Structure 1
Amino acid sequence: MFDFHLSLVSDEDTATEVPASLAETTPDERPLFDAYSQAVVDVVDRVGPAVVRVEAPPDRDKRQRGGTGSGVVISPDGLVLTNSHVVQGATAVRLTLADTRTVKARVLGDDPHTDLALLRVVDDVALPAARLGNSKTLRRGQLVVAIGNPLGFESTVTAGVVSALGRSLRSRTGRLIDDVIQTDAALNPGNSGGPLLSSQGEVIGINTAVIAGAQGICFAVASNTASYTVSEIVRHGRVRRAFIGVAGQTVPLPRRLALVLGLRQVSGVAIASLEPDSPAAKAGLQQGDIVLALDGEPVTGADDLVQLLGAGRIGVDTTLTVIAGRERKQVVIVPAERNQEPPT
């Protein structure tokens, strides 16, 4: 037989009881905890109303299941940023605002390569907006706050720090997303597309991914990447990228050949195939040629070549340094643009 002992605590005892963790905190440290809490509260009060729930309807014709995630209003006229994988190719979505109102939005542009999509609210409503910050000013250890709708729990707030900067994350298309922010602010399914915020209430990232099975390893697409994507979609309806019309693979350079040619890099991109009438074919490149550099920037792998072919190179003379046979030479090529991009 169990003997239960109950201990009654009076209101006076409760008022004077201090948790062990705080009892160990010196008086000088307590203001720091208060300041931390107030910083998070201020960010939530300022930006929380601009965070929305995004629902993309299923499309049986396209065999799309639909998606649910988060988004953030970035302009009073109704521009909303979210993840590409949240909208999943939809042309129209429904948004639930922080005050529980629902509005309709259309997809202005969807860029799976950066896992970002830009929406425009079509209903005539006044919307609070958050401001995109400069992610280049971030430092490791800096306080960040995430707001979103994880697992259907709306307007959930988590806080943490910038764990690392300059990470690369492979998108669902296979391209690398550069300059990704790593954070330990807890994220779960449904947080995707929501904002990662600085203590000043600026959007410094768009939450996009977690590593399954890991704890405290979450990623956000940097706000500077988002700013570029937004400007491209607003101007052109898509994110333009250059291509040269080759399929390539990363290969090690033969050590003896590297010594003969005076090369320091140990790998390059071998051209496996060329598209007919592509810029590469017109420039005289051949299957088996190895690309070493583009406009003087080293190309040590296929990802390097993809990253260097930005919109600024479309229609511009670009110099490729290649190994053809056993000779190193430079080839001038004019990258083009097209909507459906090949691997590079």
Structure 2
Amino acid sequence: MDSYSATIIDAVEKVKTAVVKIEIFNNTNKKEQLSGTGSGFLFSSDGYLFTNSHVVHNSTNIKVKLHDGTSRQATLIGEDPDTDLAILKISDADFTPAKLGDADLLRIGQLVIAIGNPLGFHHTVTAGVVSALGRTLENQNGRMMDSMIQTDAALNPGNSGGPLINSDGEVIGVNTATIRGAQGLCFAISINTAKEIASQLIRFGKVKRAYLGIVMQQIELVPKLRAMHELPNKQALFISEVSAGSPAEKAGILSGDIIHSFNNMMIETSDNLFKQLTADKIGQFHFIGIIRSNLKKEFRITPIQRN
């Protein structure tokens, strides 16, 4: 067997028992009828699992079909439509969860594997590469989702909520979306962002976050620019759009600026920035480090609460 195939097979073996099928049922004429499906994966031995918010939104009867074919009734612990993430809980314990990786270690061109239940086909595997990192994508509610991983690993309806894994079988993203009418443009939510969201949903049932109003893309910083400004960063965030009336616009930040720090903390990825935008930052001014036309600048910015 060739090494490429062996790598994929080994990675899938490590996570496949943690991948589940999400089934949404409606009661019609006192009969239980399947109305939708999606994917998910266990991340704790006591039955907590990730899926997408759009898979379970407004659902009251959710069932989870495990790898062995058995089903469990699921409870919705909480959801965050802004990041399209939801946390479910199933009963019993001693499940074998997926191992969560570190999305900050990803590199463009790296092999990734998607597992899910597209169009109801149980445990379908597709493979591709990381096409881009730190993308911002508009979700179904018109909100911008940050920290997105772009991949060409094929996704179809029903893949939503399944894991995107690396060659070691570690989950580095939660599959969420494709671009209609395009081929090879598929997206996953960074697992680092998903961890932060899960923590808040399990503790509080909702997410409270600070909002800046920018569309970003993770980029490599050229050595000359790093040396010129004595920056420790190897990467930074390129701003491709600033929302009208947003805190970023009011602070004087422009499209084309590059974020390299926030409150003197180095920012290399959108996950780094997301971790800084906690609820305690709302309504308080903070310093954001910007490179504009090869000049190093600092702006004061006051995040607002995202409703």
Common topology (TM > 0.5): yes
**2:253 counterpart of 1:298:** yes
Aligned partner of 1:100 among 53, 56, 69: 69
Cα separation, 2, equivalents of 1:269 and 1:158: 35
Aligned partner of 2:3 among 35, 44, 55: 35
Q: 1:59 to 1:206 in 2, by over 3 A?
A: farther
Aligned partner of 2:112 among 137, 144, 148: 144
TM-score normalised to structure 2 length: 0.71
TM-score normalised to structure 1 length: 0.64
SS in structure 2 of the partner of residue 229 of structure 1 = helix
Cα separation, 1, equivalents of 2:151 and 2:301: 42
Unmatched 5+ residue regions in structure 2? 29-33, 214-238, 260-272, 289-298
Moved more, 235-244 or 156-165: 235-244
Decide whether the 8 Å contact of 1:56 with 1:68 is kept in 2.
yes
- Counterpart of 1:239? 207
- Counterpart of 1:178? 146
- Counterpart of 1:310? 277
Q: Please identify which structure carries the higher strand content.
A: 2
Aligned partner of 1:194 among 133, 140, 162: 162
Superimposed CA distance per residue, residues 131-180 of structure 1 (whole angstroms, 9 cap, x where no aligned partner) = 22111110111111111101111011111111111211111222211121
Larger Rg: 1
Residue-pair matches, total? 253
**2:20 counterpart of 1:52:** yes
Cα separation, 2, equivalents of 1:139 and 1:334: 30
- Counterpart of 2:78? 109
1:300, distance to aligned residue in structure 2 (A): 5.5
1:235, distance to aligned residue in structure 2 (A): 2.0
1:213, distance to aligned residue in structure 2 (A): 2.3
Cα separation, 1, equivalents of 2:80 and 2:242: 28
1:312, distance to aligned residue in structure 2 (A): 3.5
Counterpart residue identity of residue 69, structure 1: G
- Counterpart of 2:293? none
Q: 1:36 to 1:312 in 2, by over 3 A?
A: same
- Counterpart of 2:262? none
Cα separation, 1, equivalents of 2:12 and 2:68: 14
Aligned CA RMSD, in angstroms, stands at: 3.5
Cα separation, 2, equivalents of 1:176 and 1:82: 19
**2:121 counterpart of 1:153:** yes
Q: 1:131 to 1:320 in 2, by over 3 A?
A: closer
SS in structure 1 of the partner of residue 7 of structure 2 = helix
Seq. identity, % = 46
- Counterpart of 1:21? none
Unmatched 5+ residue regions in structure 1? 1-32, 249-264, 273-279, 281-289, 322-329
Cα separation, 1, equivalents of 2:153 and 2:244: 41
Cα separation, 2, equivalents of 1:36 and 1:333: 48
